[in-house]
Amino acid sequence: MRRVFLAYRIALILLLLAALYLPHAFAVEDMWTAANRIIKDVYTKIAGVSTVLAGLMSAVAVIGAKMSGTQQKADQAWDWLKRVWLAWVIINGIGAFIAYVRPLFNGLATLE
């Protein structure tokens, strides 16, 4: 039991010394600026990928509709194309909505 207590005490002393002698890192930007930058970067990549995929899926849907043998398969392809466009509008509309609404809230998160 005494050895465990001694090992525990040595570990705490080493941890304290490490905290005192290691150099401290200071952030260059605050948390909100970094989060804003990261969110914009990630959303830009998501919007770019969604645009490329929507174009590719639209081409596949149109080719599928034109080459289908029955009217039911053609209707399914056109419905699929509508869903692709709707999903693309929603994904890119989120960014447009946030870009429009965000400036309206500037200055509201301050205490006076």
Maximum alpha-carbon separation in the chain: 85
Task: Indicate whether this model's pTM tops 0.85.
Answer: no
Q: Could you report the per-residue pLDDT of 24-80, keeping only the tens digit for each?
A: 777 677 777 888 888 888 888 988 898 999 999 999 999 988 888 889 988 999 999
Q: Is the dihedral of CA 73, 75, 78, 82 positive or negative?
A: negative
DSSP state of 111: -
Among residues 52, 97, 51, 57, the alpha carbon closest in space to that of 80 is found at: 57
